[in-house]
């Protein structure tokens, strides 16, 4: 199975989004072709939106990223794929680094807090990874994350904004460079072909 096939399997289709109880309310707008078109601006913006919500929100990433993609006319599949930046493997390290960054900026952390935060996040990640049905319950997750306080919130906002902007810029620039290189190769090939005819 290729990476593209794997991503297609993980990312909900338009029909699945229209049928889901969480995104059904977005169905009237999901039919717009621009939201599914692979353009430089649309994909870069979709990835930026997905990274932003993927880092900022532990829950409801799909409806929020799809709603933002619709509002900004971004690529919906790119937005959905990018929310996978946080998953059972990356969740604990990202949230721990976000908490540590926020704690450093606010000065609200003691060495004992570091140990407790690390233990709490590792427990949440292992419960989600093991398929614990209670791990995915919104109320429990929000309560556990709220207990980590202001440092986590500040760190997540900082990571989400920086990650969204940086991913947008990198995708846009990478796409632009790829198009320029392709045109240059085409021009060179045409010049070589023209010389060979002469």
Mean pLDDT value of segment 44-55: 96
* pLDDT at position 139: 45
* pLDDT value of residue 133: 47
3-state secondary structure the chain: CCHHHHHHHHCCCHHHHHHCCCCHHHHHHHCCHHHHCCCHHHHHHHHHHHHHHHHHCCCCHHHHHHHHHHHHCCCHHHHHHHHHHCCCCCHHHHHHHHHHHHHHHHCCCCHHHHHHHHHHHHHHHHHHHCCCCCCCCHHHHHHHHHHCHHHHHHHHHHHHHHHHHHHHHHHHHHHHHHHHHHHHHHHHHHHHHHHHHC
pTM: 0.75
Q: Where is pLDDT greater, at 81 or 20? A: 81
């Amino acid at each position: 199975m290729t990476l593209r096939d794997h991503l297609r399997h993980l990312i909900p289709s338009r029909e699945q989004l229209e049928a889901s109880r969480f995104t059904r309310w977005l169905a009237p707008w999901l039919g717009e072709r621009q939201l599914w078109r692979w353009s430089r601006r649309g994909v870069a913006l979709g990835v930026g939106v997905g990274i932003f919500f993927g880092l900022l929100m532990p829950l409801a990433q799909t409806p929020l990223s799809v709603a933002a993609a619709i509002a900004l006319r971004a690529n919906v599949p790119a937005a959905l794929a990018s929310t996978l930046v946080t998953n059972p493997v990356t969740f604990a390290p990202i949230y721990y680094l976000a908490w540590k960054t926020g704690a450093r900026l606010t000065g609200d952390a003691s060495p004992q807090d570091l140990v407790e935060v690390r233990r709490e996040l590792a427990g949440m990640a292992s419960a989600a990874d093991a398929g614990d049905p209670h791990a995915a319950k919104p109320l429990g997750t929000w309560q556990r994350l709220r207990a980590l306080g202001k440092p986590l919130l500040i760190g997540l906002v900082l990571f989400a904004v920086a990650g969204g902007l940086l991913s947008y810029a990198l995708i846009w620039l990478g796409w632009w460079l790829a198009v320029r290189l392709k045109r240059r190769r085409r021009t060179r090939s045409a010049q070589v072909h023209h010389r060979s005819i002469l």
